[in-house]
Structure 1
């Protein structure tokens, strides 16, 4: 069997489902169990149930990535491990702060790693994504790694600030309706730079469908 035949077909909707499906499940399950009024016990119950659903959905996304896309990127592996770990702590201690800190830690980790790689002349983003954007030069990958490293640090600061400024429900809504649009918008802003560094026009869709995510 040839290398071409062995490759799994690309699927934009599968990429989106793998990257963002678990977060959507987290949000919807929390909204379903969220108590009316001021009910501390009911709030904890909703957090525990939605966190459990988040863990299960993340593990399913991992399996779907392997079965449908033929790979699991290092970024997805790490994100899933942290979701399971911090989610388990949230459930055990019945404290939502653990799952809220998970994005900050992964943003800082990715940001520092990408910027450290940039300082050493290595485009670690290519390794984390396991992506190959046709025609993109090494310099283009290096600049993309630097830019995403800075953006990840910005997201870390933003997530931490919103944790303390918003209720859990509003923070969770922000993860879905603020962070995701920001990530897509940032991805769009990178296209002109990538085109200048040799990105094939036909690969623009792949760049948009495969932004780094937590």
Structure 2
């Protein structure tokens, strides 16, 4: 359910594009992002940072696309979003005691701190490559190809990356109590 919620604007963008073109799809994505934020705010009383950032970029780049009547602005949105995520993950390696991926996943999986750092840097590289792939497709293929890549290509890349990450992490998954104790010792040694 959360997966569909997170990709709600992308799915609507894809359907709207197929039915009405890039400008209709852009307007639909802007409305969908606004509805997504509103729903979270009024029903859940909380909006995830990722949704704020994504909605802000959709509204900014979508607005520029509609006002200037230039689809390249909305085509840049996934690249900018991916590069912002890369920056956040990279920055987390230098701020705080835990990288961002560890903060997001440690409640589900226990692995040693050095493995979290490697996985965090893998996410940085993934986001950079995803951003490059998106803009490459936008500039070198048709608009139809880019819309298909935006939904199926980027989502497929993410799915494959997450499977590979799961396989990698499974090799290092340990007893939760042991890893918590080891990670506490690592943190004490850093201080």
In the other structure, the counterpart of 2:54 is: 79
1:48 aligns with 2:23: yes
1:149 aligns with 2:136: no
Task: Let me know the Cα RMSD of the aligned residues.
Answer: 2.4
Give how far 1:162 is off. 0.4
**C-alpha distance in structure 2 between counterparts of 1:126 and 1:63, whole Å:** 29
Structure 2 stretches of 5 or more lacking a match?
Answer: 177-191
**What CA deviation, in whole Å up to 9, does each residue of 1:123-180 have, x standing for no partner?**
13456x5x65334346244333211111000001101110111111210111111110
In the other structure, the counterpart of 1:166 is: 141
In the other structure, the counterpart of 1:178 is: 153
In the other structure, the counterpart of 1:24 is: 11
Specify which of 95, 102, 124 is matched with residue 77 of structure 2: 102
**C-alpha distance in structure 2 between counterparts of 1:199 and 1:186, whole Å:** 25
Any conservation in 2 of the 1:17–1:61 contact (CA below 8 Å)? Answer: no
Give how far 1:119 is off. 4.7
CA pair 82-170 structure 1, distance change in 2 beyond 3 A: same
Q: Which of 1 and 2 has higher RCO (CA within 8 Å, sep 6+)?
A: 1
Give how far 1:60 is off. 1.8
Structure 1 stretches of 5 or more lacking a match?
Answer: 1-12, 34-45, 201-214
Kindly report structure 1 stretches of 4+ aligned residues shifted beyond 3 Å: 63-71, 119-122, 197-200
In the other structure, the counterpart of 1:136 is: 110
TM-score by length of 1: 0.71
**C-alpha distance in structure 2 between counterparts of 1:100 and 1:173, whole Å:** 12
Give how far 1:68 is off. 6.4
Number of residue equivalences: 173
CA pair 135-167 structure 1, distance change in 2 beyond 3 A: closer
**C-alpha distance in structure 2 between counterparts of 1:17 and 1:69, whole Å:** 16
SS at match of 1:179: helix
**C-alpha distance in structure 2 between counterparts of 1:199 and 1:170, whole Å:** 46
CA pair 199-125 structure 1, distance change in 2 beyond 3 A: farther
